[in-house]
Amino acid sequence: MKANRRIATGLTVLVLMAGCSYQEEPAASDEIAVSVQVAAVEAAQVPVLIKAVGSTGPYARAKLSTRLMGRLKEVAVDEGAMVRRGQVLVRIENQDLTAKRRQTEAGLQEARAVLANAKKNVERMRNLFKEKAVPQQQLDRAETSLVRAQAGVAAAEQRVREVEVNLNYSEVKSPLDGLVVQKFVQPGDMAAPGVPLLVVERQDSIKVAVEINERDQTYVVVGQGVDVEIEALESEPVRRGKVEALVPAADPGSHTFQVKVVVPNPDGRIRSGMFARVGFPKGMRPALLVPAAAVVREGQLRGVYAVVGGRARLRWVRLGRVWGDQVEVLSGLEAGEKVVVGEKMDLRDGRLVEVNGDA
């Protein structure tokens, strides 16, 4: 009986081993060809770059304050709000100014009434003087009163304009289209002349300031296009910018020149303070390029599927700079090899493929 049990156990182990060995055989699906498009690894010339690092900043920045002393009636925006030029952002209580405007307007009406009366009196005196009914001295007094009345109207108008200007300061408006990046006050706070209330930055374009050494500044030309890489932008990290200014004097301590580059920011994804790299071209060098669509990612690794002998072979590669829709391959491929582009969901190393055209 014990011998029979040993035989049965041995047969069970053999069956299990046979099952395991069957599962390790290659999947039959690997022998079903996947239709793919390919592109050739291209030998090309790319620019040699002078690399400089800097940080992003707003194209324009406004720190808003007021000339009035008063309590804040309304703060209409918070940090992060997009605002338009001329939009009212802060209102200051202005009851005293409103009362003063009514007072100055009443004074202006009185001055105009005095002027109208003085004009009539001068006209009457001139007619009487022609008829020799009044002496010259009386006409002179009437004309002097007219001049004083005219000056009184001018002074009253100036007082009204002054109050209107001060009333305008009770509304703080945005001087540009942009983003509220700092807010220092809340409704009920006291405003004082020159004390900041808000900071607004224009961000449809961004400036990047970098320093380059004195031997490289000859390669920088105002107006030239440059690539700006911003690592914080995981998708589309490279933007095309333009050199706006090259400061003509070097820093006496570091002997570097400052370059200001403007980068369009229509989607608003670039924010102030981001780390940026700028590449200024100064020549050409050979490079191998593949379409960015050919690259597969697995953790920190980067690879491509090369088509070799009708099968997809996964090649781990070391990548360099991105050039438009292509990326530089530093190692792992050779010029002329074919790599798969587009959808790779059904691919794995060794999978049979059928090439249906070049991308």
The boundaries of the domain holding residue 350 are 29-46+287-358
Question: Is 158 in the same domain as 224?
Answer: no
Q: CA 167 to CA 313: how far, in whole Å?
A: 75
220 part of a folded domain? yes
Q: Whole-prediction pTM value? A: 0.60
Q: Which of 91-95, 164-168, 179-183 has the highest mean pLDDT?
A: 179-183
Q: Say if residue 130 is in the same domain as residue 155.
A: yes
Does residue 345 sit in the same domain as residue 223? Answer: no
142 and 249 in one domain? no
**pLDDT higher than 50, residue 19:** no
Average pLDDT estimate for 95-99:
81
Q: What is the pLDDT at residue 29?
A: 55
Residue (of 99, 100, 104, 79) closest to 89 by Cα position: 79
Domain boundary among 148, 180, 196: 196
Summarize pLDDT for 218-243 with one digit per residue, the tens.
899 999 999 898 988 877 788 899 99
CB 321 within 8 Å of CB 286: no
pLDDT greater than 80 at residue 136: yes
Residues 251-267 as b/e (b if ≥16 CB within 10 A, e otherwise) read eeeeebbbbbbbbebee
Place of tokens 């059928």: 354
Residues 125 and 186 in one domain: no
- One domain, residues 103 and 165: yes
Q: What is the pLDDT of residue 302?
A: 93
Q: Report CA 142 to chain centroid distance, whole Å.
A: 67
- Asked if residue 15 is part of any domain, the answer here is no
Same domain as 226, residue 294: no
Q: Examine the domain organization and report whether 237 and 341 are in the same domain.
A: no
Q: Which DSSP state fits 44?
A: E
Distance CA 92, CA 112 (A): 32
CATH of residue 302: 2.40.420.20
